[in-house]
């Protein structure tokens, strides 16, 4: 079945009538919404969707928002929703899809991403965490790092080395790791903001059943591409109003605090306002292209622009505050559930924004991707392509 | 914000683009533009005739009942993208946009006749203000005694190609034929020879009154001009980026294509990002103008504040990444650099547009 906008609107109305948001408990409502296929309408029936065009999700969301329906707090499970789900949908077995997608979507099970390692960041394919198969079970040993939200996560997407004797991209396999299993040790890693949003994760003799492998043995790099591509498009998809995001906070301070104004700050603020507005238009244009079924490469650049703008605006904001900019709201070590730019003060925004050009691929790596995949410029010569992983220098 | 802009191109707009691009490919290659820029006839009249008369593009902004095509700023923007991509030496922006918009703000027989003439493309009009102006002036360089105009304006773009001048004075907006007694047009040596400037002097020349106050017409004309200039700047930037990517892929040094060096790749990727943003800004301005949206002033100021630095950056990067060949007279990059730099001053610099924007969005200066 494929539904058009009117049908979907009617379906959503019917659903709302059967499950009035005011009197239905939140989790019950979310589970029912998943079962009705209104979670992500472009997914298959039975898996939270209706096989409908992706663009129609907006129709459903608008109806639900208008009715005051609870949402699934997507920011709390960004990795699950944005990365794990599309990867499971594409590469998972039927059992895996049935087991994982629903509690992932409702937020009952939060996910994290065990990709980066101390020796494998930008060069992710160099990773050394080992997974060895014996009978139907893998044994995993290694160390992961910078793992956001591991302390809240029930499951992780994990990539590990299963064949050390072949070139690095070829010997990787992709797994779902149960974070409650013995041998998984999550240790807070304190950040420059004072809080510990990410972690080190030590994996010692962790047993993963072969049924929790995603994709073929040795195909993990290919599977990871799905995850990483989704990671990068996840940003920039939403429609934001003019002055949405950090520029709005800076503009508000400017308007309310005339005593802080200087010529230099004015020049810089207006320039950033222009750039933020243009970035917003580019996001809007990208969204319109998707809806029109003509996706362009524009999305590839959104994360780059977003990172730079967040950093420049938050830097300006601290300066604008002058004396107050010398203060910080709270250095207590906390274990937050999500990154909250707007709930904290300027100093936090300034420091946290520094991660925007590192997390999810550094700006340098993204510029390489734009240059090679969008502009078609030749790759750098590579020395690691035909060498077995075990023979690479580390 | 009431108006949700449509930032894509329609199928009709894409068809229009290919038609214009085909014409320019046949009649307006870089070598032709180059030769023409060095001649006494910098404007390409044959090309203008094709665009304006045969294709009917001069009348895009004019309603059908007033002798035009009844299209909008969105279509005119597409034409300007292509003209920018070719640095075409035709008075499209000056006549079909700026002068036409000024006339659209005027009522009466005289303005109607002239508007239809401009829309047909057989008459070329120019607003007699310096190309660098962004807003109406407090004082005009020309005064009217009864209908006899006296005074001078310098830096008028495409004046040498104009058949008629629209002249703002303290006593209203007047039309003056370029060939009338008392009118002298003196070409100035211009940085951008594909959009040459001239000084226009009036010595008791006979004017026909178009509107009793000049400012509203001038304001409307300059706003539309600035908003659509962004699309020209987009066309220039896209050409520069495409050519530079092509060149750096082909040019070998150190036994590999120079485009495989990361220092260059990152600069080109950066330029691509800016160009993508510029496209959204240009579409935003064109759509807001087309819709007559309340948001048009902001959309134009945002787009203009963004566009000039990007187009100039694209030209400067293109030159540098072409190495020595980029510095030559023979290679067309300099045509684009000169146009981009001139465009950065035309109809107000980025800084002037930011000042205006600050007022519009209430980010008041200290
Ligand atoms: C806040 C935050 C949250 C994160 N969350 C997670 C998570 O949940 N899960 C997870 O798996 N990872 C996570 N990461 C890790 C992140 O993906 C890596 O930090 C990132 O990919 C960079 O790797 P690295 O830190 O090892 O830096 P390196 O790769 O060592 O890079 C060092 C510097 O060299 C540059 N560089 C490297 N290679 C090149 C190249 N080829 N060309 C040019 N420059 C290059 C980089 O850009 C950088 O500036 C997170 C990181 C941060 C900051």
| Residue A8 binned pLDDT confidence (cut-offs 50, 70, 90) | very high
Alpha carbon of A83 to ligand 1 centroid (Å): 17
pLDDT, residue A3, reads 54
Mean pLDDT of B334-355: 98
Residue A359 buriedness (CB in 10 A; 0-12 / 13-18 / 19+): middle
pLDDT of residue A113: 97
Which runs of consecutive H residues, i.e. helices, occur in chain A?
5-18, 26-35, 57-66, 78-79, 85-91, 94-106, 220-234, 246-256, 263-291, 299-320, 346-353, 363-369
Q: Judge whether A97 and A47 are in contact, CB under 8 Å.
A: yes
The mean pLDDT of A337-355, rounded to a whole number, is 93
Average of per-residue pLDDT across A368-378: 96
pLDDT by residue (tens digit) across B226-256?
Answer: 999 999 999 999 999 999 999 999 999 999 9
B272 closest CA partner among B314, B308, B307: B314
Regarding beta strands A111-114 and A155-161, do their DSSP bridges make them parallel or antiparallel, or are they unpaired?
Answer: parallel
Residue B11, min C-alpha distance to chain A (Å): 12
Taking an 8 Å cut-off on Cβ atoms, the answer to whether A262 and B366 are in contact is: yes
Residue A236's pLDDT band (cuts 50, 70, 90): very low
Q: Which carries the bigger pLDDT value, residue B220 or residue A341?
A: B220
Domain A224-375, CATH: 1.20.140.10
Looking at chain B, the whole-number percentage of residues with pLDDT higher than 70 is 99
Share of chain B above pLDDT 90, in %: 98
Buried b / exposed e across A186-218, counting CB within 10 Å, b at 16+?
bebeebebbbbbbbbbbbeebebeeebbbbebb
Phi, psi dihedral angles at B262 (to 5 degrees): -65, -35
Select from A338, A327, A315 the least CA-distant residue to A246: A315
Instruction: Report the DSSP beta bridge partners of residue A388.
Output: A167
pLDDT at residue A232 is higher than 60: no
Of A294, A301, A371, the CB nearest to B266: A371
CA–centroid distance, A128 to ligand 1, in Å, is 16
Model confidence over B108-148: pLDDT tens digits?
999 999 999 999 999 999 999 999 999 999 999 999 999 99
**What gap in Å lies between CA B80 and CA B20, rounded to an integer?**
10
Which B residues in the span 1-30 are in contact with A, Cβ-Cβ below 8 Å? 1, 5-8
Tell whether domain A111-218 is in CATH 2.40.110.10. yes
Give B40-86 pLDDT, tens digit per residue: 899 999 999 999 999 999 999 999 999 999 999 999 999 999 999 99
Of residues B269, B358, B362, nearest to A370 (C-beta): B269
Residues of B within 8 A of A304 (CB-CB) are 273
In 3D space, the residue among B76, B48, B51 whose CA is nearest the CA of residue B62 turns out to be: B76
Nearest to A274 among B276, B357, B366 (CB): B357
Q: What pTM was computed for the model?
A: 0.94
- Going from the Cα of A366 to the center of ligand 1, the distance in angstroms, rounded, reads 11
Q: Mapping DSSP to helix (H, G, I), strand (E, B) and coil, where does residue A327 land? A: coil
According to the model, what pLDDT value does residue A237 have?
53
Distance CA B95, CA B119 (A): 9
Question: Which protein residue has the closest C-alpha to ligand 1 atom 29?
Answer: A122
pLDDT of residue A202: 98
Q: Is the pLDDT of residue A127 over 70?
A: yes
**pLDDT beyond 70 at B206:** yes
Residue B68 CA to residue B60 CA, distance in Å, equals 6
> Is the distance from the beta carbon of residue A80 to the nearest atom of ligand 1 less than 6 Å?
no
Q: Both tokens of residue B215?
A: 């400012």
pLDDT tops 90 at residue A55: no
Residue A374, C-beta contacts closer than 8 angstroms, at least 6 positions apart:
A297, A300, B269, B272
Q: Which domains does chain B have, with CATH numbers?
A: 11-124 (1.10.540.10), 126-213 (2.40.110.10), 216-361 (1.20.140.10)
* pLDDT tens, residue by residue, A238-295: 678 999 999 999 999 999 999 999 999 999 999 999 999 999 999 999 888 877 878 7
Q: Is the pLDDT of residue A116 over 90?
A: yes
B1 — pLDDT class (breaks 50, 70, 90) = very low
pLDDT for residue A2 = 45
Contact B147, B208 (CB under 8 A): yes
If pLDDT is split at 50, 70 and 90, which confidence band does A228 have? confident
DSSP assignment of A81-110: IIIIHHHHHHH--HHHHHHHHHHHHHTSS-
Closest residue of chain B to A301, computed from CA coordinates: B273
Tokens of B141: 């360089």
Neighbours of B12 (CB within 10 A): 12
Tell me, what's the ipTM?
0.95
Q: What are A159-197's pLDDT values in tens digits?
A: 999 999 999 999 999 999 999 999 999 999 999 999 999
Find out whether B316 and B280 touch, Cβ atoms under 8 Å: no
Region B90-117: mean pLDDT is 98
Is residue A336 within 6 Å of ligand 1 at its C-beta? no
Residue B16, burial from CB neighbour count under 10 angstroms (0-12, 13-18, 19+): buried
């Amino acid at each position: 079945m494929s539904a058009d906008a009117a049908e979907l609107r009617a379906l959503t109305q019917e659903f709302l009538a059967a499950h009035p948001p005011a009197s239905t408990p939140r989790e019950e409502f979310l589970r029912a919404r998943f079962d009705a296929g209104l979670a992500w309408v472009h997914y298959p029936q039975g898996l939270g969707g209706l096989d409908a065009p992706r663009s129609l999700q907006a129709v459903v969301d608008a109806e639900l928002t208008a009715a005051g329906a609870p949402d699934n707090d997507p920011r709390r499970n960004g990795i699950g929703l944005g990365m794990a789900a599309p990867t499971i949908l594409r590469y998972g077995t039927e059992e895996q899809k049935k087991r994982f997608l629903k509690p992932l979507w409702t937020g009952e099970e939060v996910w994290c991403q065990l990709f980066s390692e101390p020796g494998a960041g930008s060069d992710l394919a160099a990773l050394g965490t080992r997974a060895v198969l014996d009978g139907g079970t893998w044994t995993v040993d290694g160390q992961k790092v910078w793992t956001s939200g591991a302390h809240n996560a029930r499951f992780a997407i994990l990539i590990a080395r299963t064949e050390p004797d072949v070139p690095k991209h070829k010997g990787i396999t992709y797994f779902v790791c149960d974070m409650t299993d013995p041998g998984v040790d999550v240790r807070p890693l304190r950040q420059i903001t004072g809080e510990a949003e990410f972690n080190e994760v030590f994996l010692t003799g962790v047993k993963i059943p072969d049924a929790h492998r995603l994709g073929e043995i040795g195909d993990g790099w290919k599977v990871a591409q799905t995850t990483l591509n989704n990671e990068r498009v996840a940003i920039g998809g939403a429609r934001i109003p003019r002055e949405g995001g950090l520029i709005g906070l800076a503009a508000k301070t400017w308007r309310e605090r005339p005593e802080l104004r200087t010529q230099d700050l004015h020049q810089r603020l207006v320039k950033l306002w222009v750039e933020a507005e243009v970035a917003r238009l580019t996001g809007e244009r990208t969204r319109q292209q998707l809806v029109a079924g003509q996706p362009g490469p524009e999305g590839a650049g959104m994360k780059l622009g977003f990172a730079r703008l967040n950093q420049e605006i938050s830097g300006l904001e601290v300066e604008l505050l002058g004396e107050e900019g010398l203060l910080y709201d709270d250095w207590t070590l906390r274990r937050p559930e999500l990154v909250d730019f707007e709930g904290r003060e300027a100093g936090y925004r300034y420091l946290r924004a520094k991660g925007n050009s590192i997390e999810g691929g550094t700006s340098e790596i993204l510029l390489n991707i734009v240059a090679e995949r969008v502009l078609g410029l030749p790759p750098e010569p590579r020395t690691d392509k035909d060498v077995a992983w075990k023979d690479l220098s580390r | 914000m009431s108006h949700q802009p449509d930032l894509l191109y329609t199928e009709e707009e894409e068809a229009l683009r290919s038609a214009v691009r085909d014409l320019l490919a046949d009649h307006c290659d870089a070598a032709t533009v180059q030769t023409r820029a060095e001649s006494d006839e910098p404007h390409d009249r044959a090309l203008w005739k094709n665009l304006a008369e045969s294709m009917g593009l001069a009348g895009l902004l004019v309603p059908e009942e007033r002798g035009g095509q009844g299209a909008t700023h969105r279509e005119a923007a597409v034409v300007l993208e292509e003209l920018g991509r070719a640095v075409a030496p035709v008075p499209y922006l000056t006549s079909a946009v700026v002068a036409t918009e000024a006339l659209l703000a005027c009522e009466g027989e005289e303005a109607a006749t002239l508007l239809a003439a401009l829309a047909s493309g057989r008459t070329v009009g120019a607003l007699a203000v310096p190309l660098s102006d962004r807003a109406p002036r407090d004082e005009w360089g020309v005064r009217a005694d009864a209908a006899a105009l006296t005074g001078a304006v310098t830096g008028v773009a495409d004046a040498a190609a104009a058949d008629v001048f629209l002249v703002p004075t303290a006593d209203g907006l007047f039309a003056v034929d370029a060939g009338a007694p008392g009118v002298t047009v003196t070409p100035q040596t211009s940085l951008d020879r594909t959009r040459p400037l001239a000084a226009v002097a009036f010595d008791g020349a006979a004017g026909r009154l178009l509107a009793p106050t000049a400012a509203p017409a001038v304001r409307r004309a300059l706003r539309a001009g600035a908003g659509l200039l962004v699309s020209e700047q987009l066309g220039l930037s896209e050409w520069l980026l495409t050519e530079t990517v092509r060149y750096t892929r082909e040019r070998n040094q150190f036994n590999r294509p120079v485009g495989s060096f990361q220092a260059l790749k990152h600069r080109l990727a950066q330029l691509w990002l800016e160009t993508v943003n510029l496209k959204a800004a240009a579409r935003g301005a064109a759509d807001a103008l087309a819709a007559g949206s309340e948001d048009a002033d902001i959309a134009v100021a945002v787009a203009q504040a963004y566009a000039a630095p990007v187009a100039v950056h694209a030209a400067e990067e293109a030159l540098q990444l072409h190495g020595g060949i980029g510095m030559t007279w023979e290679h067309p990059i300099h045509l684009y650099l000169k146009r981009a730099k001139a465009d950065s001053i035309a109809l107000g610099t980025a800084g002037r547009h930011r000042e205006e924007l600050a007022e519009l969005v209430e980010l008041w200066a200290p």
